[in-house]
Amino acid sequence: MTQSQRKLAGAFILPGSIIVYAILAVLIYDYVLDALPTWALLVYFAVAGMGWTLPAMAIIRWMARPDANMTDRS
């Protein structure tokens, strides 16, 4: 897969993964954490709000990886 193909695929994968992550975070709150005290909810939403960055960084790193034939150039 070339870098341009990875970028095209990542343009669809990245927003889709963020949407799925947001839905899961809301479902966890609705069904599991709804009765927690306010301070615990603040911690949860701070962690959940930044948690999408780890998978996104992996996808972006994969998208930016150079092609195999590009590494042979000197």
pLDDT in tens, 18-50: 999 999 999 999 998 888 899 999 999 999 999
pLDDT of residue 19: 95
| pTM beyond cutoff 0.85 | no
Residue 73 lies inside a defined structural domain of this protein = no
pLDDT, tens digit (0-9, with 9 covering 90-100), for 53-65: 999 999 999 999 9
Residue 9 lies inside a defined structural domain of this protein = yes
Q: What residues make up the domain containing 36?
A: 3-64
Residue 23 lies inside a defined structural domain of this protein = yes
Residue 32 lies inside a defined structural domain of this protein = yes
Residue 69 lies inside a defined structural domain of this protein = no
Residue 71 lies inside a defined structural domain of this protein = no
pLDDT of residue 72: 55
pLDDT above 90: residue 13? yes
Residue 39 lies inside a defined structural domain of this protein = yes
Decide: 52 and 13 in contact? Cβ < 8 Å: no
For 6, residues 6+ apart whose C-beta sits below 8 A from its C-beta are: 62, 63, 65
Residue 57 lies inside a defined structural domain of this protein = yes
